[in-house]
A and B are shown apart, each in its own frame.
Chain A
Amino acid sequence: MESGREVSDFSSGDGRLTVEDFSVAARGFSDNWKTHNQSFPPWSWVPLISRTPLVSKKQEEGYLSLEKIIILSSLEEKNPEEDSLNVETDCSEKEESIDDTILVQPLDNEAHYYDFHIVYSASYRVPVLYFRGYCSGGKPLSLDVIKKDLPSCSVSLLMESKWTFITQEEHPYLNRPWFKLHPCGTEEWIKLLSQSSSSAGCQMPVELYLVSWFSVVGQVVGLRIPLEMLN
């Protein structure tokens, strides 16, 4: 890496990142996470195949991904809609031969799975957290169900804060609707964060950008980062 990389326009404190800085910050973040947050699986970098191969390949485009985080909840509430869908099915076909070797499992706790992606937003020039939740069978969770899985402090954060709200929008790479924390306030609170750190005499290096960012954003979705990551 060239020297002087830290002196990017981000360090000037406008709260934004270039796409090149994003991939640097992403690597810094996932390494840091791996070292300090071993109770979670690592974030992995998902590279994208460039749609325009002629464009210089100096920077790899992609996003960070942390998938299948499991939240166990108590027995799933009955979903009347789902039941009605099944009523009409024809169960008259011949039963499979009785087989003693099939373990009959009790219905146990319902696992909810969460996928998180950190994607660079070219229009806001900040990272954006996309996420979704689904049941073990793959059925997507609605925002109302997701909110029940979130820690209560983040629900109140969502209610009160002007900067953090969840919206459903198309995932820029998967082209399916995912939830996201809207990035329109990100630039401003990052500015606040970096100002307070630079007034303390130290400038936030690009490698720590995503760590600071995630220390705020992660709280909303119930993912805390260990304090050591901020050192």
Chain B
Amino acid sequence: MAENETSPTILQFAPLNSSVDEGFWHSFSSLKLDKLGIDDSPLSITGFCAPCSHPQVSNHLTLLSESLPSDEQSLIANTSHGNRNKCPVPGILYNTNTVESFNKLDKQSLLKAEAKKIWEDIQSGKALEDCALLSRFLVISFADLKKWSFRYWFAFPALVLDPPASLVELKPASEYFSSEEAESVSAACNDWRESNSTTDVPFFLVSVSSDSKASIKHLKDYEACQGDYQKLFFGFYDPCHLPSNPGWPLRNYLALIRSRWNLETVLFFCYRESRGFADLNLSLVGQASVTLSSGESAETVPNSVGWELNKGKRVPRSISLANSMDPTRLAVSAVDLNLKLMRWRALPSLNLNVLSSVKCLLLGAGTLGCQVARTLMGWGIRNITFVDYGKVAMSNPVRQSLYTFEDCVGRGEFKAVAAVKSLKQIFPAMESSGVVMAIPMPGHPISSQEEDSVLGDCKRLSDLIESHDAVFLLTDTRESRWLPSLLCANANKIAINAALGFDSYMVMRHGAGPTSLSDDMNKTHRQRLGCYFCNDVVAPQDSMTDRTLDQQCTVTRPGLAPIAGALAVELLVGVLQHPLGIYAKGDNSSSSNGGNIDDSPLGILPHQIRGSISQFSQITLLGQASNSCTACSETVISEYRKRGNSFILEAINHPTYLEDLTGLTELKKAANSFNLDWEDDDIDDDDDDVAVDL
């Protein structure tokens, strides 16, 4: 020692770093949820290491999903035994149940406890039999399984030599060895790495004889290596890539060498590789000088260090895996993908953002409402509000696809509430709400005590329509569609109307509001499309009183609602994708020749669709807005704007008010004088709850 004149350089070790595969956290989460529960006793885990294999990047100690103890049959064959890139290293995991207990863990004692195990394995000789024990590691963690975030901290316990080892020399193995020796060392290393029984043994002895022949032995064969060879190198798989420093595993290796064999001078060999073969330019050979212990007892565990730094700081690491673990997010991306595929493969110009941002108001949550909501979800629409005042009855779930038997037991859940719950169950990303409320109807006179509440409902309905982009009229009576039709025309909102007879259906979109009242003066030259009431010569009136039950409950063939509901949604999607939106003119199937594709990627955009199941037929129709319409005509809208509540009350309480206002009374008088006999048809159709097509 004394003869060494230059002041000794302290041998510095490059810290080891951890890498935790996403799969580890996935497996750990299931283990925690399914088996461990709140049991927080430490778990034995297996880390994996390998020699450095990249000139600029060090290797990590890696946790993979197979790091956890598992008794279940994995689909993928267990390849971790004898895998050259997965040398197993024993570790221990302390997972706490709260973030507070994570912060409170006594990290120094935990580290000490692991260092003690390493020290004892050195003393007992166990570390010679199973050298991976020298690289034992420790992890503390807190898994927030509700947020899929994980906080963790690794420690790679290293026994501190006191005084520290000093570095005599360190150079690339290719420079240290003669070319003959280098060739032989490479060959021996490659054999060691090729053999299944030794490839994952990270500490070994390299002996180079005087005739430049190298051989590799297990640590436990140290005694046998004595004397026969000229040089003995303590080799290990070095995870570090630096040319200037050996990696962390050398620390406990030196502790073992000093303690077991009392060597003052240690030749070490940092084994590194590239492309699966020994790389002696990357590998290092060094000479360290170690001060031997004087009377140190085996019972005294040396000091230890080893908590991993996070970007140079003494803080834990954390990772959030919500993107890959949160089932809601996964459902959202899967649903989005489906729609994107449709765009990519079939409809390149489809605008999905319009669909996902549109807010739909569904008036009525019965057979039609349920069907419309389901089809809207299919198109990626996220925002649906239901308005309905009824409760789920025992007869409903078989026809109304959002409800189950559970919704009817007891007094029955409100449909508006049950439908929202159901949408969230089907797809958690739905933004849905329900409003329990009756829609005020003309021709259903109310007492003065009721006025306030009815007017309150009118206000709510008007606010709802204002706050949505599209309104579906899906109630079971004609007159309940009147006020929404008027409000939609007034607010210039897209209104889609679907109505069912016993075996026929009608689906239509309303036109824009009266043009001269609209802010959008550019559109004045356009002919408006009609609304549900435009072709009527009677104002909506009470259609429920004096009817038998089967008439009130709109008995229909069960296939109708799904058909009409689906058509209603397809019609809305057509409007949303059309460049002119609500102003799009009505196409019909015969006029288009299928050549209208330029206008809308989805094909033609009709005004009305009528179909009959008894004939298995369907036609598209076009009807312009009527100046005498009781819901959307300029006369009505201006009167509503002028008089507001008193207009509504008058319409509700006086059956003939609307007809008088719009001139329908005059028209009827005139028509009656001609004594035509089309009125019978009119009445039949009206029973079917389908608007009259004149």
Interface of A toward B, CB cutoff 8 Å: 38, 41-42, 46-49, 51, 70, 72, 81-82, 85-86, 89-91, 93-97, 99-105, 107, 109, 111, 132, 134, 136-140, 142, 162, 165, 167-170, 173-177, 182, 184-185
Contacts and interface: CB of A to CB of B under 8 A. Distances in A.
A173 B13 contact: no
Do most interface residues of chain B lie in helix, strand or loop, or is the interface mixed? Answer: mixed
Interface of B: 10-15, 17-24, 26, 54, 56-57, 60, 62-63, 73-77, 79, 103, 107-108, 149, 151, 160-161, 164-165, 242, 245, 251, 275-276, 303, 305, 307, 310-321, 323-324, 330, 333-334, 337, 340-341, 344-345, 348
A41 B275 contact: yes
A102 B316 contact: no
Contact of A70 (B57, B314, B320): B57
A149 to B, nearest CB: 15
Given A137-B19, A167-B337, A169-B334, A47 B77 contact: yes
Nearest to B310: A86
A102 B341 contact: no
Given A102-B12, A103-B14, A111 B57 contact: yes
Given A86-B316, A138-B20, A176 B26 contact: yes
Given A102-B13, A173-B75, A97 B305 contact: yes
Contact of A177 (B11, B276, B330, B340): B330
8 contacts: A47-B77, A49-B75, A49-B76, A97-B305, A101-B10, A103-B242, A111-B56, A137-B317
Given A46-B79, A173-B75, A182-B341, A89 B276 contact: no
B383 to A, nearest CB: 24
Contacts of A47: 77
Given A101-B251, A103-B13, A184-B341, A89 B316 contact: yes
Nearest to B308: A137
A165 to B, nearest CB: 6
Given A91-B314, A101-B13, A96 B56 contact: no
Given A103-B245, A162-B345, A162-B348, 4 more contacts: A49-B75, A101-B12, A105-B14, A138-B19
The 10 closest A-B pairs by CB, nearest first: A138-B20, A103-B12, A138-B19, A85-B318, A177-B324, A90-B103, A111-B57, A103-B14, A99-B305, A86-B315
Nearest to B155: A96
Contacts of A90: 103
B315 A91 contact: yes
B324 to A, nearest CB: 5
Which of A107, A139, A165 neighbours the largest number of chain B CB atoms within 10 Å of its CB?
A: A139
A154 to B, nearest CB: 17
Contact of A184 (B23, B242, B345): B345
Contacts of B107: 93
Contacts of A82: 318
Contacts of B312: 104, 107
A177 B341 CA distance: 18
B160 A99 contact: yes
Contact of A51 (B75, B103, B275): B75
A138 B22 contact: yes
B26 A102 contact: no
A138 to B, nearest CB: 4
A38 B15 contact: no
B324 A173 contact: no
A150 B79 CA distance: 31
B318 A140 contact: no
B15 A103 contact: yes
Give the most central of A49, A109, A176: most B CB within 10 Å: A176
Contacts of A167: 337, 340
A137 B323 CA distance: 17
B18 A137 contact: yes
B22 A72 contact: no
Contacts of B340: 165, 167
Contact of A48 (B12, B77, B333, B334): B77
Nearest to B321: A140
Contacts of B17: 136-137
A54 B55 CA distance: 47
B319 A102 contact: no
A165 B22 contact: no
Contact of B10 (A100, A138, A140): A100
Contacts of A142: 323
A109 B151 CA distance: 24
B601 to A, nearest CB: 15
Contacts of B151: 85, 89
Contacts of B242: 103
B331 to A, nearest CB: 12
Given A97-B303, A140-B324, A102 B15 contact: yes
Nearest to A142: B323
B23 A174 contact: yes
A138 B15 contact: no
Contacts of A85: 149, 151, 318, 320
Given A99-B305, A107-B312, A139 B319 contact: yes
Nearest to B18: A137
Given A72-B57, A90-B103, A165 B318 contact: no
A163 to B, nearest CB: 9
A68 to B, nearest CB: 8
A114 to B, nearest CB: 13
Contacts of B14: 103, 105
A184 B19 CA distance: 35
Contacts of B22: 132, 134, 138, 140, 176
Nearest to B102: A89
A38 B315 CA distance: 40
B275 A38 contact: yes
A72 B310 CA distance: 19
B164 A100 contact: yes
B319 A96 contact: no
Contact of B160 (A72, A101, A139): A101
A164 B475 CA distance: 45
B77 A89 contact: no
Contacts of B60: 136-137
Contacts of B76: 46, 48-49, 173-174
Contacts of A91: 314-315
A86 B318 contact: yes
Nearest to A113: B19
A71 to B, nearest CB: 10
Contacts of A81: 320
Nearest to B107: A93
Contacts of B149: 85
Contacts of B77: 46-49
Given A49-B73, A89-B315, A103-B14, A96 B324 contact: no
A142 B578 CA distance: 34
Contacts of A168: 333, 337
Given A41-B276, A103-B13, A169 B337 contact: yes
A104 B57 CA distance: 16
A163 B553 CA distance: 51
Contacts of B314: 91, 95
Contacts of B79: 46
Contacts of A104: 312
A49 B337 CA distance: 30
B242 to A, nearest CB: 8
